[in-house]
Structure 1
Amino acid sequence: MTNAAPLNNYDDAAVGRITAFVEQLTGGKVVGLERLVRWRPSWFVEVETEGTVRRLHLRGDRGGDVSIFPDLKREADVIAVLHGHGLPVPEIYGYLADPPCIVMEAIEGTRDFSALDAATKSAIGRVYMRAVAAMHRLPVEPFMAAGVHRPEGAEAIALVGLDAYMPHYRRTKSRPEPLLEFVIGWLRRNVPRHRDRASFIQFDSGQYLVDQGAMTKLYDFEFSMIGDPLVDIATMGMRNSYEPLGAPLPELVRYYEEATGEPVDHDAVVFHVLQFSLLGTMQFTGTVGKPCPGDPHSVYLMFDLALRRSILLALSHLTGDPLPDLPPLEQRRGDNAPLLAKLVDTLGTLPVTGEAAEAHKAQVAELIEWVQRADDHGAEMIARNIADVSALLGRRFDRWVDAAEALEAHILKAGPEEDAVLITLLATIEERRLQLFGPTKLGEAACHVVLPATRPD
């Protein structure tokens, strides 16, 4: 996957206001500003004060319509609470409302563990999991004062993420989503009701840096909530599949158990893997179905495919229903193959300058490859999906959107006695999509998704 180009392009005037704010805040002069190439506007800034230069980090608003908690100040306030309680997070120096920007300490380090030996990775993992356990022990009241909702009761604690994401999903949903609607209902019917203690959680966890063989600090609390602490174990396990955390996940879980003095409920972890996979898909499905101008669409397609694969793996584990074994696709070339080949050729000749432009060009190439696969096999996949839905519902459909709409309506009324049949059908539909797009560069991540193993083999 390419680095995402920023989708909220702060203009020169906005950057000027940020620069002036940093100088006012620090009493120094900005002598360096490095824009990071990613989907969120962010910078490293060098500020000179009385002959000394220090580096800060500027975190802007991601923009678009995929934010569950769109107020960037919420994250700044949460990080400030964590820092005040001695957690290893960056210090917050200030917040600018227009344009939204957090001014914070720049963390030293990297996510690359490849140069470290196993003993060093283990030592870092123990420190990291102690920090996570300490975060989970914090009182929740200061976070409530910062605007974080506190759920009450086992069901609300288990589903705090679903309840938080649901308004965004309902507002942005742009197409029928039979799989998502099924999983929403399944989760509500299968809450782990014995887990009734809520903690502050990072939610999208596993994000920390290492430098010179030691952990530096945790970062990124955009989606933080108060909920079941095992959500953080589930989400760090999911992150580990594409952004390794150093020590093996079962080892990290053991360190967490040592730090908390309590055994981890592994089935509850898988429940939260299922829920988090669902929520990520819910977050992006609106723009995947109806792309918004400026969105990094290739990134969202990659997320969507990988998260749906994760949904199927977790659901199969929790229900015992096996995933279908599909026959391979027959090789064929689509009718538009010559035109698409020419498009690839034309793109390759376009001159570009700079990282952001290179990233945009790479994203276009990824989208063309995606379209090529759809041209080769998309019609066949859709025909098979329509036939399967028609067989289940007992009526014929000519278009996939109509079949998907009818299937979703059926799912919303179906009882748990239909779960096995529906899981098999939904898994078949999604596995065909993975067959179709898995061979692309964007599909590579989905092909490598595995269910996090939280205990030793």
Structure 2
Amino acid sequence: MAESELPNDLNLWIEETADGRLIQATRRPGGARREAWYVDIEKKNGEVEELFLRLDRSLRSETGDPYSSLRETEVYLALQNTSVPVPAIHGVLKSPQAVLSDRIDGDTWFSQIQDPDEQLSVAQDFMHHLAALHRIDPHSLDIPALGSVPTARESALREIDAWENLYQAAQAGPHPLIEFSLRWARQNIPDYEGPVVLVQGDTGPGNFLYAEGKVTTIVDWELAHWSDPMDDIAWLSLRAVQEPFTHLPDRLREYEQLSGHPLDEKRIRFYQIMAELRIAIMGHQEMKHRSSDREVGNGLIFGALHERLLVECLAKSIDLKLDPPKPPLPLETDRSWLYDAALDQIRSVIVPKSEDPFVILRAKGIARILKHLRDADSMGQEFEAQEKADLETLIGEHFEDAAQGQSVLVDRMRDGSLPAQALIHFFYRKAMRRTELVRSASGALAERHYPALF
């Protein structure tokens, strides 16, 4: 079955759960790891009920991922009678993992708001809701899937353990930057003994809907857990890189006043690294469980962005100054015109003639893939030579190729013989090469960094 369609068994479950006849199911853009669907249900009285379906076709037995739809649903249900706006849940299915909920009116992309006053109104309203979430006594929330409410240190260790397990379970080969970051995280957990709250994880623009200057609902709670409030502030700053969120220091001062939780830069910086580490591990998982049904083009540009941001955060944690390498001049190849011709046809024919938002999104994703392939064809050989030279400089040995050097690098890292500063410099040069290979596909994202906090 094409993954642009819903399985028959799932259609039957939707009808039984919604107590009506499924008359239309339309896949929507976005959803990241999980598909997003609009489903229309004709009720017995002839009225049409508009619902929303989140679907994850992956098998937990293969991925080892504890962040299930069932877990997320417990969070939604626990927040139903609070002031935090979340959609009502109609049903949850274990296999395939699916959640059927109300469809809430509102737009997703904060960056599409043109009116500065509306931007400010939406951003301030979101900060009110985030502060309200963090004011809830965690012991008043019934979320068995999250376990008992720990201390902040215990929470950080739980998260590090969970994500290290996911990294190991992926069996996608060693990833030096991830292993370095996991070790750094264990060694740098903040000394914080204050309140622990329910954090959304991955909170901020893109994970709430808005209309008429207000937030209508907050979605995507799959990474929710008990934690230090600064965990969510770190995620908010991360998402503000992707979609600038008005003047962030003003919003954070508002949060501080509304929530009663004082901001702490050192703790925020720690949780920024934790957030970027999670993204790196999710990307590493996809190397083993590759699927052409994902937003592959988006994955290229956001994978490169967040690898660079992770390295920049690690450098900042030890006050290490990074000097970007000079990229090589792009070379024209015999295939360059073919990439350009395909891109021109997508831009001038396919997208203008398409009306389905999902098709348009995929066409733009294909364009990003083609831009990356064009640039890899142009600069890839030079970057391979640079990688080999950097590994030889770092380790002090000669290698036949970069792959051999990477293998030795993992061994040297694990025995602790390479200094942190030298490793971070190496990771940065590597991340910048990856950035160059998606620069033309990334637009402004290629130059984005974390916004100021204060």
Q: TM-score range by the shorter chain?
A: 0.7 to 0.9
**Structure 2 runs not aligned, ≥5 long:** none
Stretch of structure 1 that moved more, 123-132 or 179-188 = 123-132
Corresponding pairs, count: 443
Highest RCO, 1 vs 2 (Cα 8 Å, sep ≥ 6): 1
1:174-232 CA-to-partner distances (Å, cap 9, x unmatched) read 24322222122122212212355421110110122221222222111111111121111
RMSD of Structure 2 on Structure 1 (CA): 3.2
CA–CA distance in structure 1, aligned partners of residues 343 and 66 of structure 2: 38
Q: Which residue of 47, 51, 60 corresponds with 1:56?
A: 51
CA–CA distance in structure 2, aligned partners of residues 62 and 434 of structure 1: 30
TM-score, scaled relative to structure 2: 0.86
Stretch of structure 1 that moved more, 145-154 or 214-223 = 145-154
* Structure 2 residue 410 is matched with structure 1 residue 411: no
Deviation of 1:362 after TM superposition, in Å, equals 4.0
Distance 1:96 1:142, change over 3 A: farther
Structure 2 match to 1:300: 299
Deviation of 1:277 after TM superposition, in Å, equals 0.9
* Structure 2 residue 49 is matched with structure 1 residue 91: no
* Contact 1:109 1:211 (8 Å CA) reproduced: yes
Deviation of 1:326 after TM superposition, in Å, equals 1.6
Deviation of 1:130 after TM superposition, in Å, equals 2.7
Distance 1:321 1:279, change over 3 A: same
Structure 2 match to 1:128: 126
* Contact 1:203 1:235 (8 Å CA) reproduced: yes
Distance 1:295 1:217, change over 3 A: closer
CA–CA distance in structure 1, aligned partners of residues 124 and 363 of structure 2: 41
Stretch of structure 1 that moved more, 145-154 or 426-435 = 145-154
* Contact 1:151 1:160 (8 Å CA) reproduced: no
Distance 1:315 1:102, change over 3 A: same
TM-score, scaled relative to structure 1: 0.85
What percentage of aligned pairs have identical amino acids? 23
Structure 2 match to 1:316: 315
CA–CA distance in structure 2, aligned partners of residues 112 and 446 of structure 1: 15
* Contact 2:88 2:102 (8 Å CA) reproduced: yes
Structure 2 match to 1:45: 39
**Structure 1 runs not aligned, ≥5 long:** 1-5
* Structure 2 residue 430 is matched with structure 1 residue 429: yes
* Contact 1:7 1:295 (8 Å CA) reproduced: no
Deviation of 1:67 after TM superposition, in Å, equals 8.1
Structure 2 match to 1:208: 208
User: What is the one-letter code of the residue matched to 1:21?
Assistant: E
Q: Which residue of 386, 390, 401 corresponds with 1:384?
A: 386
* Structure 2 residue 155 is matched with structure 1 residue 157: yes
1:79-136 CA-to-partner distances (Å, cap 9, x unmatched) read 0101133421111122234543222121121135555755554444343223222222
Distance 1:118 1:332, change over 3 A: closer
* Contact 1:66 1:284 (8 Å CA) reproduced: no
Deviation of 1:18 after TM superposition, in Å, equals 3.7
Structure 2 match to 1:251: 250
* Contact 2:185 2:274 (8 Å CA) reproduced: yes
* Contact 1:126 1:252 (8 Å CA) reproduced: yes
CA–CA distance in structure 1, aligned partners of residues 240 and 453 of structure 2: 11
Stretch of structure 1 that moved more, 235-244 or 225-234 = 235-244
* Contact 1:21 1:96 (8 Å CA) reproduced: no
CA–CA distance in structure 2, aligned partners of residues 194 and 7 of structure 1: 49
Deviation of 1:244 after TM superposition, in Å, equals 4.0
CA–CA distance in structure 2, aligned partners of residues 396 and 409 of structure 1: 15
Deviation of 1:316 after TM superposition, in Å, equals 2.3
Deviation of 1:298 after TM superposition, in Å, equals 2.4
Structure 2 match to 1:3: none
User: What is the one-letter code of the residue matched to 2:254?
Assistant: Y
Deviation of 1:404 after TM superposition, in Å, equals 1.2
* Contact 2:327 2:433 (8 Å CA) reproduced: no
Distance 1:156 1:398, change over 3 A: farther
Distance 1:232 1:392, change over 3 A: same
What's the secondary structure of 1:226's corresponding residue?
strand
1:269-306 CA-to-partner distances (Å, cap 9, x unmatched) read 12211221121011112324773454443232222101
Superposition pairs of residues 139-158 of structure 1, within 5 angstroms: 139-141=137-139, 145-150=143-148, 152-158=150-156
Superposition pairs of residues 24-423 of structure 1, within 5 angstroms: 24=19, 28-38=20-30, 40-49=34-43, 50=45, 52-61=47-56, 63=58, 68-112=65-109, 115=113, 117-141=115-139, 145-150=143-148, 152-195=150-193, 197-206=195-204, 207-245=207-245, 247-288=246-287, 291-292=290-291, 294-334=293-333, 336-337=335-336, 355=356, 356-414=358-416, 418-423=419-424
Deviation of 1:353 after TM superposition, in Å, equals 7.0
CA–CA distance in structure 1, aligned partners of residues 180 and 149 of structure 2: 24
Structure 1 match to 2:8: 13
Deviation of 1:435 after TM superposition, in Å, equals 2.5
* Contact 2:78 2:142 (8 Å CA) reproduced: no
CA–CA distance in structure 1, aligned partners of residues 337 and 122 of structure 2: 52
CA–CA distance in structure 1, aligned partners of residues 405 and 3 of structure 2: 36
* Contact 1:288 1:300 (8 Å CA) reproduced: no
Stretch of structure 1 that moved more, 137-146 or 340-349 = 340-349
* Contact 1:334 1:372 (8 Å CA) reproduced: no
CA–CA distance in structure 2, aligned partners of residues 97 and 392 of structure 1: 48
Distance 1:435 1:38, change over 3 A: closer
User: What is the one-letter code of the residue matched to 1:242?
Assistant: Q
* Contact 1:14 1:99 (8 Å CA) reproduced: no
What's the secondary structure of 1:132's corresponding residue?
helix
What's the secondary structure of 1:83's corresponding residue?
coil
User: What is the one-letter code of the residue matched to 1:46?
Assistant: D
* Contact 1:334 1:377 (8 Å CA) reproduced: no
CA–CA distance in structure 2, aligned partners of residues 287 and 86 of structure 1: 36
Deviation of 1:239 after TM superposition, in Å, equals 1.0
Distance 1:45 1:286, change over 3 A: closer
Distance 1:343 1:258, change over 3 A: closer
